Amino acid sequence: MSQQLQGFIFDLDGVVVFTDKYHYLGWKRLADTQGWQLDEALGHQLRGVSRIPALEVILQHNGVSLSEDEKHRLAEIKNEYYKAYLHDINENDLYPGAVAFVELVRERGIKTALASASKNAETVLEALRLTHLFDAVVTGNDITRSKPDPQVFLLAAERLEVEPSRCVVFEDAYSGIEAARNAGMQAVGVGERDRLPNAPLCITDYSELSLGDLIERGLD
């Protein structure tokens, strides 16, 4: 039987808020300026992937090779596009039920963290007035390795001062579930099962979870 959970760690995109459409618009705008092909199917592969690795997916798909300096230059341009689109973010972009669920977790005395590969995660939290919901925030500015490397989640657990084995991660990307498992944490997939075959449990609505059972028994 699992130890009682003491830390709930949430990815941002597709878990608390939907920013993936803004990322997609940023990448699509960049691709269009460069004459590269980028459709929604390829865009889906970029979910949960940090900036340079995401660009490399696009380059590989289009058979393009660039220098490291050029990759970083273009990635920064995409980020400026993304930040411009973020001006439109609002409460309609929140994942239904996510805020209420995090609030309920906190009412139970459980520590919460936001762990995202996005370097703009704090900007999103501030725009939506969500910063107060998390005891710790880890963003792409704090890490050097991308998921499925567990660095982002291990750092979140460290900042929460909770053992990894007593943490559960909420993730919407295959690579994120792998990162959670590589961290020795439990994982809940947020999204359809066919996208997250590696998740021990998948939900599409936070009301599907029994919080008390999850805290006490984990995913056993």
Q: Which residues are catalytic?
A: 11, 13
Residue 63: CB atoms within 10 Å:
8
Structure tokens at 146: 């991308």
Distance CA 215, CA 110 (A): 9
Asked if residues 174 and 164 have their Cβ atoms less than 8 Å apart, the reply is: no
Distance of CA 46 to the CA centre of its chain: 11
Nearest 5°: CA angle at 22, between 19 and 105? 5
3-state secondary structure of 17: strand
| Strands 167-171 and 186-190, bridge-based pairing | parallel
Distance CA 101, CA 182 (A): 25
Alpha helix positions (H), the chain: 20-34, 40-45, 51-62, 68-85, 98-107, 121-127, 151-160, 174-182, 211-217
The DSSP letter of residue 191 is S
